[in-house]
């Protein structure tokens, strides 16, 4: 068989060509991958260096905020993966609490956690924010009223009438008790007591002689110590112990004015419009997480501290006197219902719910 002679020069050239093609192929794949990866990563990379930033202020001071909102904001910031960051501010840090609504509306802050009454929302339903006397027995009543009795639509409707503000989500906090330096063992003992309290509940309790006083949240403990205040009508046992008020009050009244504080999340509309849908959904999910956290924290805390808490002596107004207070609340409800057709609808929803709860029995109501 005839051998074919190989031209060494040609062989070298062919080898170089094959090596070039191999190298070029690998380089092309790597380059294409890098381009594709860069294209996919660009928005995320940009978001990490230029995240959407919100400033959110809560009604609560830092000790309470560590439970009622900080876990939520920490979780949201972690889950947002650098695409959005919420800066959390506590009561009065950026603006006074009674200016929260206006500050959010004009964009000074992007979002708020508060009840409607405390932050002076310019809507008719603001009287139901915070503590609406005897509207609930337990904290779970509140989300049920919003989900199944139409309160969510009424709140949305009310805030849709206000420029540049959106109502996002409502949840329940703790029941309302009264904590004081001097004991309350009858309605007469309330007369002349100056207490820090939520507006609507304070308005109702003033008919028994309590004097509602508004002060910056961080000043309350010192005001009780100096005698400027006689106590607080603002919260339940869990908060009183958590924020230090149980250290300066001597007595806790077991008769509670309502079963749950009603608070919400709100956002500036222009700020919200800059947030993509997936982050909006993430924020609402984090609100639900916060509502759940509070349900458990307060429910467990109230029971434990009423039984095991040693800082305050427990007092109680006799049932025959307190039954009159409960009766008086019916007149107060009708007073609030007369504000507008919408407040009348809210009151009717509470009445309908109460009627169901009174009929259903255990485990929804025991008495």
User: In this predicted structure, what is the pLDDT of residue 366?
Assistant: 79
> What is the side-by-side order of every strand in the sheet holding 251-258?
211-213, 194-197, 231-235, 176-180, 251-258, 313-315
Closest CA to 111 of 279, 240, 242: 279
**Which of the four CATH numbers 3.40.190.170, 3.40.50.170, 3.40.50.620, 3.40.50.880 does domain 50-171+261-310 have?**
3.40.190.170
User: In this predicted structure, what is the pLDDT of residue 268?
Assistant: 98
Confidence of residue 339 (pLDDT cuts 50, 70, 90): very high
β-bridge mates for residue 178, sequence order: 253
β-bridge mates for residue 112, sequence order: 57, 266
Nearest-angstrom CA–CA distance, 196 and 99: 18
Cα torsion angle, 292, 118, 60, 259, sign: negative
β-bridge mates for residue 171, sequence order: 263
User: In this predicted structure, what is the pLDDT of residue 107?
Assistant: 97
pLDDT mean over 191-210? 95
Confidence of residue 367 (pLDDT cuts 50, 70, 90): low
- Return the structure tokens found at 242: 């958590």
Return the minimum-mean-pLDDT range out of 23-37, 287-301, 349-363. Answer: 23-37
Mapped onto helix, strand or coil, the DSSP state of residue 303 is: helix
pLDDT mean over 47-61? 89
Give the CA radius of gyration of the chain.
30
Q: Where are the domains of the chain?
A: 50-171+261-310
pLDDT 10s digits, 62-106: 999 999 999 999 999 999 999 999 999 999 999 999 999 999 999
pLDDT mean over 114-140? 96
Q: Cα–Cα distances in Å, from 241 out to 20, 149, 197, 301, 343? A: 76, 33, 16, 9, 34
- Res. 1: pLDDT tops 60: no
Phi, psi of 64 (to 5 degrees): -75, -40
- Res. 32: pLDDT tops 60: no
- Res. 60: pLDDT tops 50: yes
Q: What percentage of the chain has pLDDT greater than the value 90?
A: 84
Phi, psi of 366 (to 5 degrees): -100, -20
- Return the structure tokens found at 71: 């876990």
pLDDT 10s digits, 255-297: 999 999 999 999 999 999 999 999 999 999 999 999 999 999 9
Q: Which residues contact 291 (CB under 8 A, 6 or more apart)?
A: 143, 169, 171, 172
Mapped onto helix, strand or coil, the DSSP state of residue 172 is: strand
């Amino acid at each position: 068989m005839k051998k074919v002679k190989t031209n060494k020069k040609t062989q070298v050239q062919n080898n170089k060509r094959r090596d070039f093609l191999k190298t070029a192929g690998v380089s092309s794949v790597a380059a294409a991958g890098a381009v594709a990866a860069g294209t996919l990563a660009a928005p995320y990379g940009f978001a990490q260096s230029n995240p959407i930033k919100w400033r959110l202020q809560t009604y609560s001071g830092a000790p309470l905020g560590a439970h009622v909102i900080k876990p939520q904001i920490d979780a949201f910031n972690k889950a947002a993966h650098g695409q959005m960051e919420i800066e959390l501010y506590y009561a009065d840090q950026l603006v006074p609490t009674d200016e929260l609504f206006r500050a959010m509306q004009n964009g000074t802050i992007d979002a708020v956690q508060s009840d409607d009454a405390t932050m002076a929302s310019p809507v008719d339903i603001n009287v139901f924010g915070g503590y609406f006397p005897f509207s609930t027995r337990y904290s779970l009543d509140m989300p049920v009223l919003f989900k199944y009795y139409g309160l969510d639509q009424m709140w949305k409707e009310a805030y849709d009438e206000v420029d540049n503000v959106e109502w996002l989500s409502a949840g329940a906090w703790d029941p309302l008790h009264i904590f004081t330096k001097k004991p309350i063992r009858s309605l007469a003992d309330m007369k002349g007591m100056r207490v820090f309290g939520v507006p609507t509940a304070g308005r109702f309790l003033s008919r028994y002689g309590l004097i509602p006083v508004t002060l910056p949240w961080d000043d309350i403990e010192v005001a009780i110590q100096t005698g400027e205040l006689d106590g607080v009508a603002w919260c339940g046992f869990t908060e009183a112990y958590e924020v230090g008020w149980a250290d300066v009050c001597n007595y806790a009244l077991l008769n509670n004015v309502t079963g749950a504080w009603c608070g919400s999340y709100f956002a500036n509309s222009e700020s919200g419009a800059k947030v993509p849908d997936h982050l909006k959904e993430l924020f609402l999910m984090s609100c639900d997480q916060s509502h759940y956290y509070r349900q458990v924290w307060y429910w467990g805390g109230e029971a434990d501290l009423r039984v095991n808490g040693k800082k305050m002596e427990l007092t109680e107004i006799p049932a025959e006197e307190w039954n009159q207070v409960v009766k008086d609340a019916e007149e107060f409800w009708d007073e609030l219902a007369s504000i507008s057709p919408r407040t009348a609808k809210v009151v009717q929803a509470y009445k309908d719910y109460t009627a169901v709860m009174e009929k259903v029995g255990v485990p929804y109501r025991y008495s």
